[in-house]
Chain A
């Protein structure tokens, strides 16, 4: 499974989100060996580039072409609890155990 954090430049905020996803997975005691987490800019947004996408809600328009159930829009990019809820949602969908 591949999860992508996406932002306009692919440098700053997307990397912050990627790190927070990694932290959440660790805290949820998830075996992440089959989970790839990456970050890139909105130019890389396409159905093939990842299974799930995280992006700031301001960029919603740019993800409008993607399947809705694979796109997660974040109100805040640094709020770990908001992220945790959404990451857990993915884990539940994929039947991946977490605490």
Chain B
């Protein structure tokens, strides 16, 4: 399931220079916005949640999982990923991020399966390292697919 959400269309690789963490979240969410899965309001909600509550979306080393609530503007479940070449500080320097995941959940149990698979994937430090080092989107797609098929 994860590999049907994180695809060549929803994964991006970007340069970290001169972009802020909020720009990174915005850019990471772009594929979900352009395909109508989320509304602009969802991006704003994800950013303001961090502004209000701090960098709690930093779920593991170099990894952020940006998300807000379904009622903030999710139309269809989706997930996307932006990988940046060097770490961007999420709010402060204690929270450097290279992988910005965006989760758009709808209020049912469907997103739980996708999250479960993401948890398994991120729980494997070898795969995370390979994704961090990947130089192309297709490499990342392949990593996720291989893990999905296991």
Contact = CB atoms under 8 A, between A and B. Distances in A.
B39 to A, nearest CB: 17
Interface string A76-96: 111110000000000000000
A46 interface: no
A8 interface: yes
B36 interface: no
Nearest to B61: A76
Dominant secondary structure at the A interface: mixed
A20 B67 contact: no
B35 to A, nearest CB: 20
A15 B55 contact: no
A8 B45 CA distance: 13
A30 interface: no
Given A16-B115, A20-B119, A8 B60 contact: no
Interface in B40-58: 49, 53-58
Contacts of A77: 59-60
A64 to B, nearest CB: 15
Nearest to A9: B69
A78 B60 contact: yes
Given A13-B65, A16-B119, A80-B123, A8 B49 contact: yes
B24 to A, nearest CB: 17
Interface of A: 7-9, 11-13, 15-16, 19-20, 56, 58-59, 76-80
29 contacts: A7-B56, A8-B53, A9-B67, A11-B67, A11-B70, A11-B105, A12-B57, A12-B65, A12-B67, A12-B103, A12-B105, A12-B115, A13-B56, A13-B59, A15-B112, A20-B119, A20-B123, A56-B56, A56-B59, A58-B54, A58-B58, A59-B56, A76-B60, A76-B61, A77-B60, A78-B63, A78-B122, A78-B123, A80-B123
